[in-house]
Chain A
Amino acid sequence: MTWASLFDLEIVYVMTGAVLIVFAGFTLADRENRARVGTALFWLLLGIVFALGSHLPAWLNGVLVIALVAIDGAGQVRQGGYREAAPATRAASAERLGLLLFLPVLLIPIVTFAATEVFDGPGFVANDVLYAGLGLSSVLAAAAALLITRAKPIWLVHDGRRLADAIGAVMILPQLLAALGELFKAAGVGKVIASGITAVIPTDSLFAVVLVCCTSVALFTFIMGNSFAAFPVIMAGIGVPLLIEPFGVDPALVGLLTITVASCGTLCTPMAANFNLVPPALLEMRDRYGVIKAQAPVAAIMFVTHVLLLWGMAAFDLV
Chain B
Amino acid sequence: MEWLRLIGVAIVVVGFALRLRVTIVVLAAGIATGLVAQQLDGGGGPNVVSTLGQAFVNGRVITLVVLALPALGVLERYGLQEQCRRVILKFGAATAGRLLLVFHLFRTAVVAVGIRINGHVVFSRPLVVPMALPAAGLDAPVDEEAVVRDVDRVKATTSAAENYANFFGQNLFFGSPGVALVVKNLADNGHVVSALLVAKVAVPVAVAALLVSWVQYALLDRWLRRRRAARAEGTP
A and B from one complex: yes
Complex Cα distance, B160 from A113, in Å, reads: 31
Please tell me if A5 contacts chain B, counting CB pairs below 8 Å: no
Contacts of B124 in A (CB 8 A): 279, 282-283
B29 within 8 A of partner (CB): yes
Q: Which chain A residues numbered 236 to 287 have a C-beta less than 8 Å away from chain B?
A: 236, 240, 244, 250-253, 255-257, 259-260, 263, 266-267, 271, 274-276, 278-280, 282-283, 285-287
Is B180 located at the chain interface by the 8 A CB criterion? Answer: yes
Contact of A109 (CB < 8 Å), options: B121, B152, B173, B186: B173
What residue of chain B has the Cβ atom nearest to residue A72's Cβ? Answer: B23
Chain A positions within 8 Å of B24 at CB level: 69, 72-73
**Range for the number of chain B residues in contact with chain A:** 35 or more
State whether A178 and B181 are in contact (beta carbons under 8 Å apart), knowing that A65-B27, A65-B53, A72-B23 are contacts in the complex: yes
B contacts with A: majority SS: helix
Contacts of B97 in A (CB 8 A): none
Q: How far is the CB of A185 from chain B (nearest CB, A)?
A: 6
* Inter-chain contact total with CB atoms closer than 8 Å: 453
How many A residues face the partner with a CB closer than 8 A? 149
Determine if B13 and A94 form an interchain contact, defined as CB atoms under 8 angstroms apart.
no
**Stretch with Cβ within 8 A of B (4 or more), from A28-36, A99-107, A197-205, A206-214:** A99-107
B185 cross-chain contacts in A, Cβ below 8 A? 178, 181, 231-232, 235, 255
Main secondary structure of the interface of A (DSSP, over half): helix
Docked pose: A135 CA to B196 CA in angstroms:
16
A98 to B78, CA, bound (A): 10
A254 → chain B closest CB, angstroms? 8
A255/B164 in contact, CB under 8 A: no
Contacts of A271 in B (CB 8 A): 16-17, 19
Nearest-Cβ distance from residue A245 to partner chain B, whole angstroms: 9
Measured between alpha carbons, how far is A177 from B178 in the docked complex, in Å? 11
Q: List 15 A-B contacts (CB under 8 A).
A: A62-B54, A64-B53, A69-B27, A72-B23, A87-B82, A94-B79, A163-B73, A187-B5, A240-B186, A251-B186, A252-B201, A256-B171, A259-B171, A280-B155, A302-B168
- Not counting A73-B24, A113-B174, A138-B68, a sample of 11 additional A-B residue pairs whose C-beta atoms are within 8 angstroms of each other reads A19-B67, A65-B53, A72-B21, A164-B69, A184-B33, A186-B34, A232-B185, A252-B193, A278-B120, A283-B125, A309-B205
Q: Please list the 3 inter-chain residue pairs (A to B) with the smallest Cβ-Cβ separation, ordered nearest first.
A: A159-B73, A62-B53, A61-B53
